[in-house]
Every structure is written in structure tokens, then in C-alpha cells.
Structure 1
Amino acid sequence: MAKLTPVLVDLIRRPDTNKVMSTISEDGMPHTIVCGTLTVPEEDVIAVGRVWLNRTGRNIQRDPRAEFFVWSGKYAYSILCEFIGNSADEKEVEKMNEGLDKIGLGTSTVWKFRVLAVYDEGISDTMGERIS
């Protein structure tokens, strides 16, 4: 288990940050999607709203591993995670929908992922190194 740094939490929460999620497809190949918004309900958990994630959902059911890649400018991070469950908690869904509303989407379910490791993939002296 790993924790997200305050700098990374801020980057994840910013609406102008690029965010993608990769899962492992049935044939073992990566399957990557754009994430409209991510939240950080705990320092070791990332949450994403379930919006049109049919293929991704099948992948997660078969193999709970996922990678989130977030970047903005020279800052980039790979966040290795494991799916830990769904949430329909009203407060969590409402918070997720605050971000999704801005892009004309909404959800009734939030997927949660436990952070296992974080790697710096940006332009820095620690590029490629595990930082958490």
C-alpha cells in the first residue's frame, strides 16, 4: 500500500490535469480510457465515477489491477492500484458528480481503487523512480 503526496492529490483534483486509466483486457493487452474526473477520498484511495465503463468494468471484474496516469505540463505520475469496490454513498456520488457535471456527465456509482505504488514519470531528477 502507498500514499498519495499532497502535491499529487492537488494534481489529481485539478480539472485541467490529464487523466487516464488502464486495465488489462481479456487478451492481456492494456485497455486505456480517459477519466473525466478523479477524486481522492483517502490518501491511499483513488475514486472514479462509473460512466460508460463497460469494457473497463469487465476487465476489472476479471483482474482488479489498474493504472492511473495523470499529467500536467512537466509533472506526470503513474499510480498503480487495485480495485477495492463500488460505492453508491450519496456524499461520494454527489462529490463525483460535481466534477462530472462540468463536462455534461453524471454517475450513480463510484469505483474505488487502493493505491499500491506511485512512480514519478515527469521531467525531474526522480523520473522513473518509485516515490510512494
Structure 2
Amino acid sequence: MNRSLHGLSVAVLSSLLGFAGPSLATSDAAEAAIERAEARYEAAKEACEPLRGNEQDVCEEKAKAEYEKAKADIEARDKGTAGAQRGADADKAKADYDLAMEKCESLKGQQHDACEAEAKAVYERARVNARR
């Protein structure tokens, strides 16, 4: 009895490990890719340090957007589902929107308002497309 229980436990454990093995490897690969994206993000932010004012803000927001978009793609590939890809598309649209809004900050008056309106319209179109 004890021997058959041990055999069953080994069989169950082996099947679980076999099932979890590839998933863990993919997650490890995704984690490594995210770490590389983080390193690129930090380097890009450092490159923005000599800049000042809105130019620096835009540079930093661009670095952040590139990181967020890379991370969204990595996570979507790791999950491998259509829903994950839609989520990534929505995250990338938000990153682009935040960057566009930061670029609008240097403008004044009607140009500023038009810039923000365009950024919002592009973002809304991208969000709708991401849901499909």
C-alpha cells in the first residue's frame, strides 16, 4: 500500500512538473527580457539628464513609454492569449497617449488644446481597436 502510494505520488508530481516546466521556462525568459527592458529604460532616462524643462520631460516620458510598450509585448507573448495581446495593445496605446500629452505641454493656447484633442482621439481609436 505504501509503495503504491509513493508510486502514485511520484507519477502525479512528475506530471505536474512536466506541465509546469515549460511555463516556468517561459516566465523566466520573460522576466529576463523585462530586466533587459528595465536596463534600457534606466539608460534612456540617464540620457535625458542633460536636458531641461519640457524637453527633459518629453525625453523621460518617451523612455517610459518605450519601456511600458516593451513590457506589455513581453507579457503578452508570455501569456500567449488573444486577451493578453488586447491588453498589451491597450497598455501600448496608453503609453503613446501619455507621451503625446507630455509633448502637448510645450504648446500654448489653441495649439495646446488641439494637440490634446488629437492625442485623446488617437488614444480612443487605439483603445477601441485593442478591444477587437
The question of a shared fold, defined as TM-score above 0.5 by the shorter chain, is answered with no
TM-score tier, shorter chain, comes to under 0.3
Which has the higher Rg, Structure 1 or Structure 2? 2
TM-score by length of 1: 0.21
More helix per residue: 2
- Work out which structure has the larger RCO, using CA pairs closer than 8 Å and 6 or more positions apart in sequence: 1
